């Protein structure tokens, strides 16, 4: 049986990421939840429910684009945080909205593509509650915990 891969001392896990989320008034307001974190793969999965204040229109069960962008930014940040051991500042990010995001919740799957000494890059796919890809994003973060 192979020995387990040691966890780097600065590695974050699910509990640390959720604590970061809970410490942010805005992320708490959106009720974003970290549901999976794989430091070896650099992947974070986050869920965000469709709350009344996150809707595009009160009469339509669709997310406004702003909360979707926030979910992308947060999930990408957390994917980089896995590698560097803490939350990091956003340098830049972009979002492509592919279809209306509707349903009870969204699922963001963020993958850290590269984390260097000064900069980290993450790609994020956003799915609706039926598993349909609704938005994609790419973000650049400082690789220095801040």
Q: In this model, does residue 93 exceed pLDDT 50?
A: yes
**Residue 143 or 10, more confident:** 143
42-65 residue pLDDT tens = 999 999 999 989 999 888 889 999
Q: What is the 3-state secondary structure (H, E, C) of the chain?
A: CCCCCCCCCCCCCHHHHHHHHHHCHHHHHHCCEEEEEECCCCEEEEEEECCHHHEEECCEEEECHHHHHHHHHHHHHHHHHHHHCCCCCEEEEEEEECCCCECCEEEEEEEEEEECCCEEEEEEEEECCCCCEEEEEEEEEECCCC
Domain coordinates in residue numbering, the chain: 14-142
Percent of the chain with pLDDT over 90: 81
How confident is residue 2, by pLDDT bands cut at 50, 70 and 90?
Answer: very low
Q: What's residue 121's pLDDT? A: 98
**Homologous superfamily of 14-142:** Hotdog Thioesterase (3.10.129.10)
């Amino acid at each position: 049986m192979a020995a387990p891969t040691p966890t780097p001392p600065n590695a974050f896990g699910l509990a640390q990421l959720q604590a970061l989320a809970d410490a942010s008034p805005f992320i708490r307001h959106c009720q974003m939840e970290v549901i999976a974190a794989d430091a070896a793969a650099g992947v974070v999965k986050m869920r965000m429910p469709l709350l009344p204040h996150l809707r595009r229109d009160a009469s339509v069960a669709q997310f406004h684009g702003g909360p979707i962008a926030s979910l992308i930014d947060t999930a990408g940040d957390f994917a980089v945080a896995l590698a560097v051991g803490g939350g990091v500042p956003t340098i830049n990010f972009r979002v492509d909205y592919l279809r209306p995001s509707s349903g009870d919740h969204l699922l963001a799957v963020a993958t850290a593509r590269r984390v260097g000494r000064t900069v980290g890059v993450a790609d994020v796919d956003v799915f609706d509650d039926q598993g349909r890809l609704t938005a994609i994003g790419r973000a650049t973060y400082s690789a220095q915990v801040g």
